[in-house]
Amino acid sequence: MDHDITTQHPLPPHVSLRDQAQRLIYRMIGPVVRLLVRIGVTPDMITTTGLVLNIGVAAILITGAEIGARGELTYVGWAGARSLFGGLFDMLDGRVARIGGKASRRAHSTIRCWTGTVSW
């Protein structure tokens, strides 16, 4: 049976791929988040760790630009890996704040501010 790809078929409402991925990630990091809350790690500690890691990313990129050979991507690879690792901390701090009951109105207004800036 031929299927015409231009034919519009009504699709049932579904959860977006982004939401599915977010749920999967939250399920995976849930035990880590609960452990961090249990041992007393604060969202600020996690944010500071992520900041330090990303400052390290900048240092790696600067070092690569200064001493790396033209076209050498080793430094970019290391910086990318460290940036992804630092991004994990950015994800963790919000979850630890929410689950640990330390989410603040300031955090929510900051998120709205950044979201508005990015969408503008």
Distance, in Å, from the CA atom of 41 to the CA atom of 34, rounded to the nearest integer, reads 10
Amino acid occupying residue 98: R
pTM (whole model) above 0.85: no
Which residues lie below 8 Å from residue 58, measured CB to CB, with a gap of 6+?
A: none
Tell me the pLDDT of the chain averaged across its residues.
Answer: 80
Contact 64, 74 (CB under 8 A): yes
Range with the largest mean pLDDT of 3-12, 15-24, 74-83: 74-83
Quote the Cα angle for 32-90-14, to 5°: 80
* pLDDT tens readout for residues 28-76: 999 999 999 999 999 999 999 999 999 999 999 999 888 878 778 888 9
- 21: pLDDT strictly greater than 90: no
